[in-house]
Amino acid sequence: MLKALAIAAVTAVVSTAQFATAEEVWKSIPTPPAMPDAAESGTASVNGINMYYASYGDGDGTPILMIHGGLAHADIWASQVADLAQDHRVIVADTRGHGRTTNNGSAYSISLLAQDYLALLDTLDVDRVHLVGWSDGANIGYEISKTAPSRLASHFAHAGNVTLAGVDPSVETNEVFGGYVGMMAGDYAKMSPTPDGFEGFVADVSEMWFADKADGLQAIEAITVPTLVVHSEHDEAILHDHSAAVADNIPGAKLLVLDGTSHFSMFQKPDMYSAAIRTWLASL
């Protein structure tokens, strides 16, 4: 989430992922499988945009909402959706300007993206969800936890950051992260209603990434939503100490470290990731 990352995306200078042994899966990013068939999918008109969404499974309990990270799209959750939808209703969506969802020219902010997701839940007549958020998705989850806590039964918050100091500066030159940007550039060209707009998209999203979060740790101290702060052992972007500090500052929050994976755990060890979500939900 730094300027060099944006430059890498814009110029499509993508490094080839390193070959990884079974013990080093964190050094590459496997392509996720295709999404399973949705029970329902479409676009919702919310906050001046057309927001793509899909719903899977028909569990009777509180649904699971999964929010992807920056530059990505809902389909990155394919493995987790296939698992969790066996006994839960799982909702995914493409964040404003990402994937198949439009943007209306509004500047990106975590606050605005949170409002979009709340409006989507209203449109789907869903009162409350268990939120699984990754990277920017976790940050959206923290925002909803602060502003609309009654909408969340829990928050599985993976690889979020509430201050800029939580970002590892070495991500600027990390090859695995560069590979991810390249993957998302290709997906954007295939999925977006503005397929040639990736350069402007990254520039606009980067403004959100660099927004000041000086009061971030203080702002989460009043969160009451049950929260699991999730950190990857080899995360290229988020510092372990920052994740630990987030867990310390949210009352009652717990910290989970995903062994042997990087920022992209859901790609690298999908079964472990789904099991972690299930264990968290079972603990509530």
pLDDT value of position 16: 36
Greater confidence (276 vs 4) lies with 276
Q: Where exactly are the structural domains of the chain?
A: 3-283
Q: What is the pLDDT of residues 207-228, one digit of tens each?
A: 999 888 889 999 999 999 999 9
Q: How confident is the model at residue 117 (pLDDT cuts 50, 70, 90)?
A: very high
Mean pLDDT across the chain:
93
Contact 65, 45 (CB under 8 A): no
Entry pTM:
0.94
Bridge-based pairing of strands 64-67 and 254-258 is: unpaired
Contact 62, 89 (CB under 8 A): no
pLDDT value of position 196: 97
Tell me which residue has tokens 């449109």: 123
Q: What is the pLDDT of residues 39-52, one digit of tens each?
A: 999 999 999 999 99
Tell me which residue has tokens 């052992």: 233
For residue 2, pLDDT beyond 80: no
Domain 3-283 has CATH 3.40.50.1820: yes
Element (H, E) at 258: strand 254-258
**Nearest-CA neighbor of 137 among 40, 65, 187, 186?**
65
For residue 148, pLDDT beyond 50: yes
Tell me which residue has tokens 């090859």: 175
For residue 256, pLDDT beyond 50: yes
Q: How confident is the model at residue 172 (pLDDT cuts 50, 70, 90)?
A: confident
Instruction: Measure the N-to-C terminal CA separation of the chain; round to a whole number of Å.
Output: 32
Contact 70, 94 (CB under 8 A): no
Return the half-sphere exposure (C-beta side, CA atoms, 13 A cut-off) of residue 239: 13
